[in-house]
Chain A
């Protein structure tokens, strides 16, 4: 297999802003009728003049700093000329040879170790409108256009061709999303918040540019398809041609777009309606507002709370989850908190496709406190979490109502069941007495099955050991393992 070379151009909406990039139309259009959030500027009507949203520039600088970029002394806008139905003016206000920042990097945590993906440049531009295809893109007879999105502030993040697998591309996007959300400039849950153009080639071959992939999963799928397509061409002795392709999300394939426009056809020239922006003088103030970023938080969690790096990695993957953990960890044991938040609660949330905001940190604290006091079992605690997620309620209410199931069975009952399991499985018990670990796990499994997990593991182990001792005393000639 030939080496795969991937570079990404990621367009993210700075959708935490209140207004668009060059006009004061609201950014809150997502639940609105089409073409209800427009004005002469974002409709490109003659005579309308753009004025730059200062906070958009500040947010762009924030992102550039977080991506370890060089911030340029000053920056300016250009007109990028092309005709497309989603572009109101026949040009897009974008940036060209004076982007806001260059030469950054993102570090990825791969199985084989750290991978540094270089960022070539970061620049600002306005979002075009949204095309609604009637039917599939290659068959529709006309298009419908909603300009609510027109003029939204976009940030384009361009990587060097440093990515080697579709999975790396996905991890890169996740990391970028993670950083943007920490910076509080980006809400990834909003439709259309991220679009990706992916360049992909096999070593030595021409590259295909896949345009406008609109989901995280789509990027990985489109790249996987392209690798197969290009490999098949090479195998059949057909040359891969350099071209632009469209990713059909529904069919999971890429289609040649046969565009006639090349880079020089965009006829970039300075936007005469917007004046240059000096940025170097804003950097120091903005640096002071930068929050703790994911990599730094992961290190701090390990150092400050003594939790495992694996737990820290899961916990920092969402800012909400990291904050949730810290709230819980200040009330109960940090390692216990990490296990229950990162492993158990996160798993239950994922299973239900829910966000961490669906669960209260106070409830988690209460559950872990009763668990620590040994009034409920681990399994009982999981039941409480599930009940809260599925039916609502508070931990104390649920423990009260379901006390029969959740409260630890008394030791007598545990003992009866454990003794019965020993009686019913003499072979396994014999092996256990010989010190075989699998036999212990088997017996434990039987007891848990009988009791639906409502007994404490340590109680069962105690009982098993007690029985073993008794057995060995009754038969002193049996081999004794220390």
Chain B
């Protein structure tokens, strides 16, 4: 059961700011989606889980060092930077 409290926590986990109005509205919507998943309960229980859809295993590359991109390119999309570093929020 998804409550207003769950929605509030999910919003925090996803770093999304939700309005009071949205926090009231979303629990019902999310619950109806989850209800739909209950259809899965009708499936026989002995079906083994699908871990991957491709059916491939063991795709590797050799341990060889290649070219990296420049510091300038790396920082190209950064909204804030300082002395070659990305600048981020304070932690805690």
Contact = CB atoms under 8 A, between A and B. Distances in A.
Contacts of B69: 38-40
A146 B87 CA distance: 9
A440 B25 CA distance: 95
B58 interface: yes
Given A19-B64, A38-B68, A53-B63, A277 B91 contact: no
A26 B59 CA distance: 20
Nearest to B88: A85
B60 interface: yes
B56 interface: yes
Contacts of A33: 71, 84
Interface stretch (A99-107, A257-265, A355-363): A257-265
A35 B74 CA distance: 7
B61 interface: yes
Given A34-B71, A51-B60, A270-B52, A144 B66 contact: no
A36 B71 contact: yes
A188 interface: no
Given A36-B70, A147-B74, A276-B52, A257 B92 contact: yes
A146 B74 CA distance: 10
B90 A140 contact: yes
A403 interface: no
Contacts of A241: none
Given A38-B68, A54-B61, A54-B63, A144 B52 contact: no
B91 A51 contact: no
A81 B82 CA distance: 27
A145 B66 contact: no
A75 to B, nearest CB: 10
Interface stretch (A130-138, A335-343, A364-372, A456-464): A130-138
B83 interface: yes
A278 interface: yes
Interface in A7-65: 17-19, 24-28, 33-40, 43, 45, 51-57
A142 interface: yes
A84 B54 CA distance: 31
Given A141-B90, A143-B88, A277 B63 contact: no
Interface string A246-282: 1000000000011011000101001010111110000
B80 to A, nearest CB: 8
Contact of B90 (A26, A37, A143, A261): A143
B63 A56 contact: yes
Contact of B91 (A45, A85, A267, A278): A85
